[in-house]
């Protein structure tokens, strides 16, 4: 691959709620306190300027106390700022202030802004409450509700809302399609995605850039790279970096590294500037060890461009070095991060485990705790694996207690890892307890627990569980057969 491949650039009183106390329940305090806003009069356009500067505190202080003649112009920019900063607490207070100072229920525009704000702040329940109270919904209101579901990982709710729109005869516009297509991709429902594609063609939006990009991403997530590439090829003017990012990401996320990097080279030949998403997609493609040199070149190009160096790109760099077994580079990049999120911590932690560096993983976990981070399922699984390999039973039991407290032990992957950890630490009683506590068991669960009993000389228990496997009609894999043969050899030695 030529070196030029990695040349990156950047360029009145009525409430919209039937029962207002329901909104109060979403807060920590039992009562919703209306903030004391400044009585100093201010021009609406000045408030908008304040919001454009991103100063939420100053925007609060500038809000009028009494009702005003232009509520839409007053509240819309503040709600958008709350959404941008994901400031749910402030958004709730603004909503309360709106209810007190003006007739919110009469403004579909403001109600739509509220749905949008709650969706961005992760409060789907409040978004639904506002949405349900709107009598005459505009297409923007429907789009805001669907967007709230998509951004909070609720694709099934998107599907239900879409069906409701179709029944009510609500027309679809260009900006309706990206959220619907993203939900189809999350569900990996190619049939639904193709149906929405057909509607885009019917309504004449199949050439709209944002729709085409969403279609490419949808087909890729539904594992139809041929469909994604065919759509991309039909774009006459490939002068939109988002289109290139969509197709590059489609190939890189499906393990087609060579094709992804070839597309990146074509993008550069077309004279388009790369952005953060381009860098991330290319770094993902460089996760293959054979592309490690190219990954370093992209890293060097990223360092030359301050606009590309953000937490998103840095996280991708960490993940790339982990997959290339370059843990020293991964840690060095991680340490340069100004804001270390849980994804970055888990990437390095998992990297240590994957590279057999269990002791380093445990030391890194102490740093994780000292930073005030709380373990999630990924963290728990990684440390349990390290404890099992190192034979650190007490540490494993401490983590098991934490998992029970949080409820993680009911998770299938966590449960399977607990079984394996106790088996490796020769703690058969707790291994059986972890297995019996699991609400759902898959083939890995049964295989791991049978192997645990066989490897710890509990041959009869291994046989007992093997009979259960046959009774519940679970397929037997080679590892399970190997464990049973081991149990047979144990019995033969005893006899």
> For all residues of the chain together, what is the average pLDDT?
82
Which residue did the predictor score with more confidence, 308 or 137?
137
pLDDT band for 103, please (50, 70, 90 cuts): low
Long-range contacts of 171-174 (CB under 8 A, 24+ apart): 171/139, 171/203, 172/139, 172/199, 172/203, 172/205, 173/139, 173/143, 173/203, 173/205, 174/205, 174/208, 174/210, 174/211
Task: Reply yes or no on whether the pLDDT at 161 is more than 50.
Answer: yes
Task: Reply yes or no on whether the pLDDT at 284 is more than 70.
Answer: yes
Task: Reply yes or no on whether the pLDDT at 383 is more than 90.
Answer: yes
pLDDT band for 15, please (50, 70, 90 cuts): very low
Task: Reply yes or no on whether the pLDDT at 494 is more than 70.
Answer: no
Query: Of 11-20, 92-101, 324-333, 393-402, which has the strongest mean pLDDT?
Result: 393-402
| Percent of the chain whose pLDDT exceeds 70 | 84
Q: How far is CA 163 from the centre of its chain?
A: 25
Which residue did the predictor score with more confidence, 3 or 311?
311
Which residue did the predictor score with more confidence, 310 or 409?
409
pTM above the 0.85 mark?
no
Task: Reply yes or no on whether the pLDDT at 38 is more than 60.
Answer: no
- Span 118-140, average pLDDT: 92
Helices (H), 371-476: 377-390, 393-406, 412-424, 428-437, 443-455, 459-471
Q: What is the pLDDT of residue 306?
A: 60
């Amino acid at each position: 691959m030529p070196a030029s491949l990695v040349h990156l650039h950047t360029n009145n009183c009525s409430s919209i709620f039937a029962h207002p106390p329901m909104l109060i329940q979403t807060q920590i305090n039992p009562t919703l306190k209306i903030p004391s806003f400044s009585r100093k009069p201010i021009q609406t356009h000045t408030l908008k300027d304040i919001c454009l500067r991103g100063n939420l505190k100053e925007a609060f202080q500038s809000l009028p106390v009494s009702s005003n003649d232009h509520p839409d112009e007053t509240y819309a920019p503040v709600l958008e700022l709350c959404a941008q900063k994901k400031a749910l607490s402030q958004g709730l207070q603004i909503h309360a202030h709106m209810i007190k100072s003006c007739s919110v229920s009469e403004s579909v525009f403001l109600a739509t802004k509220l749905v949008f704000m709650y969706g961005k702040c992760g409060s789907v329940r409040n978004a639904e409450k506002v949405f349900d109270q709107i009598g005459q919904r505009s297409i923007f209101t429907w789009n805001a509700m669907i967007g709230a579901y998509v951004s909070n990982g609720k694709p099934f709710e998107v599907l239900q809302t879409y069906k409701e729109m179709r029944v009510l005869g609500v027309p679809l516009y260009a900006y309706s399609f990206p959220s619907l297509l993203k939900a189809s991709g999350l569900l990996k429902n190619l049939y639904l995605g193709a149906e929405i594609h057909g509607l885009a063609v019917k309504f004449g939006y199949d050439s709209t850039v944002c729709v085409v990009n969403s279609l490419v991403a949808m087909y890729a997530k539904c594992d139809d790279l041929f469909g994604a590439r065919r759509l991309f090829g039909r774009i006459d003017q490939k002068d939109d970096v988002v289109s290139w990012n969509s197709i590059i990401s489609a190939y890189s996320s499906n393990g087609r590294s060579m094709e992804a990097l070839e597309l990146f080279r074509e993008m550069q030949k077309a004279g388009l500037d790369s952005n953060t998403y381009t860098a991330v997609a290319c770094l993902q493609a460089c996760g293959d060890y054979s592309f490690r040199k190219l990954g370093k070149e992209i890293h060097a190009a990223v360092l030359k461009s301050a606009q590309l160096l953000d937490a998103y790109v840095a996280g991708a760099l960490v993940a790339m070095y982990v997959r290339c077994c370059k843990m020293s580079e991964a840690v060095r990049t991680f340490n340069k991060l100004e804001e270390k999120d849980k994804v970055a911590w888990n990437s390095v932690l998992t990297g240590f485990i994957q590279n057999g560096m269990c002791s380093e993983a445990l030391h890194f976990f102490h740093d994780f705790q000292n930073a005030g981070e709380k373990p999630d399922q990924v963290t728990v699984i990684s440390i349990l694996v390290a404890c099992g390999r190192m034979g650190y039973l007490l540490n494993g039991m401490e983590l098991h207690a934490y998992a029970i407290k949080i409820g993680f032990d009911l998770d299938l992957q966590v449960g399977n890892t607990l079984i394996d950890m106790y088996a490796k630490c020769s703690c058969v009683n707790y291994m059986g307890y972890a297995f019996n506590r699991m609400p759902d068991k898959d083939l890995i669960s049964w295989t791991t627990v049978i192997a645990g009993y066989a490897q710890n000389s509990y041959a009869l228990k291994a046989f007992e569980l093997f009979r259960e496997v046959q009774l519940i009609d679970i397929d037997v894999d080679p590892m399970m057969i190997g464990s049973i043969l081991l149990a047979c050899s144990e019995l033969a030695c005893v006899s």
